[in-house]
Structure 1
Amino acid sequence: MNRILTAAALTALATPALAHHPLDGMPMESVAHGLLSGAGHPVLGFDHLFFVALMGVAAALCGLLARAPLAYLAAMLGGTALTTLGVALPAQEAMIVLSLIVLGGWLASGRALATAPLLAVFAGFGLFHGAAFGAAVAGQEGGLAAPVFAGYLLGLFAVQYALTFAAGTAARRLAAAGPVNARLAGAMGAGVGLFLALEMVEGPLLAAIAG
């Protein structure tokens, strides 16, 4: 039953990704637009959504649910700013997929989650998640006004912190974040990462075979 409840909790977190983007393609022209867009982007991609959920589970296991995600969030905001300033990080999509495999696999293994390495994982991959968020708005015609961009960053921060805290709280309540539940959540996240990795290499592999 605990496994079913864990899966249901993670599925509930994923359901907002089925909705349309809050702006529905409209340009961001106000602080409110920035907030809505920032709040919408992390839940529109399963890669971002599952990673922040996994972070919540891992942070809850370490007893640092309120603080550990801040390492990711700080790096994520930095990555977003870098991209909008024209500094492109390499292999963004591949690193985001790898983040799911690494953190999900770590949780699934049942090994102890030491605080320092965990924070390094959060922050290191946070840069690449942030870079992807920055790329989503870097092409805005005429760029973003400073207040609009600030709203975008605030939306990104708030929704991801809330999702992380919700996932961690759910994990903690399910048998006090017992190892079986945490390992199941990790396996689900790593499975999503492997699926996305296969999607990334499928095209080139088929082209190589056909060619």
Structure 2
Amino acid sequence: MKKLLTAALALAATPALAHHPLAGAPMETFGHGLLSGVGHPILGFDHLFFVALVGIAALFTTRRLAAPAAYVAAMLVGCGLMYAGVAMPIKETVIAISLLVLGGALLSGRALGTVPTLVLFAGFGLFHGSAFGDAMAAQEGGVGGAVLLGYLLGLGVVQYAIALAAGWLAEKAMGVTEAASINARLAGAAVAGVGVFLILETAEGAALAALLGA
């Protein structure tokens, strides 16, 4: 697990967080949007870690299929809002906090309950979705409806699949059947560690900007 945490921290520190599969090329077709939507959550390790933990946390609710869907639905709403020009505030900071909060919840070894879990997933989903929307909002000249449809479809399908796969692997391969399981708590610790790292990195960047601007 120490190796897993070290690798997670290293990956989170790389520029891959901001990459998408088209390597900066404009999205012009449904296929471009679909490819970018599929690849963005995988290349963005902060999003990948969070959605994987969503799948594991969902195991401890009575809605193990619906709970990840709540995250995906809210994420798509956040992405759509960003496309429309409505950005969530301090989203990168909130995304880092989301890793710390959900990771800490699993680390505690106590199940949150179905309703709090759904609220948590949906609330943070809006911010993750807003970050995904940056890929479209930043494109000069905007994107068309076909690109948007492909992007949202790719985002939704791949993230729901990742969440379900993570939950299935945790249960079948790692023996995670309850919140107090040591493997569930270790997964929470690893993701919470990434969250702490990203929060410190954000704080450091803000401090440097303040000093340079002084």
Normalising by structure 1, report the TM-score: 0.87
Deviations 1:108-148, CA, capped at 9 Å, x for gaps: 00112200000000000000000001112102222111111
Q: Which amino acid aligns with 2:148?
A: F
State the Cα distance separating 1:63 from its structure 2 match: 4.8
Q: Does 1:194 align with 2:193?
A: no
Preserved CA contact (<8 Å) 1:72 1:122: yes
Q: Which amino acid aligns with 2:49?
A: F
Deviations 1:181-200, CA, capped at 9 Å, x for gaps: 11000001100000001111
User: Following superposition of structure 1 onto structure 2, how do residues 125-204 of structure 1 map, counting pairs within 5 Å?
Assistant: 125-173=124-172, 174-178=174-178, 179-204=181-206
State the Cα distance separating 1:22 from its structure 2 match: 2.3
C-alpha RMSD over aligned residues: 2.5
CA distance in 2, matches of 1:147, 1:209: 44
**Deviating more after overlay: 57-66 vs 184-193:** 57-66
Aligned to 1:100: 99
Q: Does 1:81 align with 2:49?
A: no
Q: Which amino acid aligns with 2:133?
A: G
Preserved CA contact (<8 Å) 1:60 1:171: no
**Closer, same or farther in 2 for the Cα pair 1:108/1:146, shift >3 Å?**
same
Report how many aligned residue pairs link the two structures: 203
Structure 1 stretches of 5 or more lacking a match?
Answer: none
Preserved CA contact (<8 Å) 1:57 1:177: no
Preserved CA contact (<8 Å) 1:35 1:153: yes
Q: Which amino acid aligns with 1:106?
A: A
Structure 1: 4+ residue segments shifted above 6 A: 207-211
CA distance in 1, matches of 2:76, 2:116: 20
CA distance in 1, matches of 2:107, 2:167: 16
Aligned to 2:42: 43
Deviations 1:38-72, CA, capped at 9 Å, x for gaps: 01111111110110011011012225332211111
Secondary structure of 1:51 counterpart: helix
Q: Which amino acid aligns with 2:184?
A: A
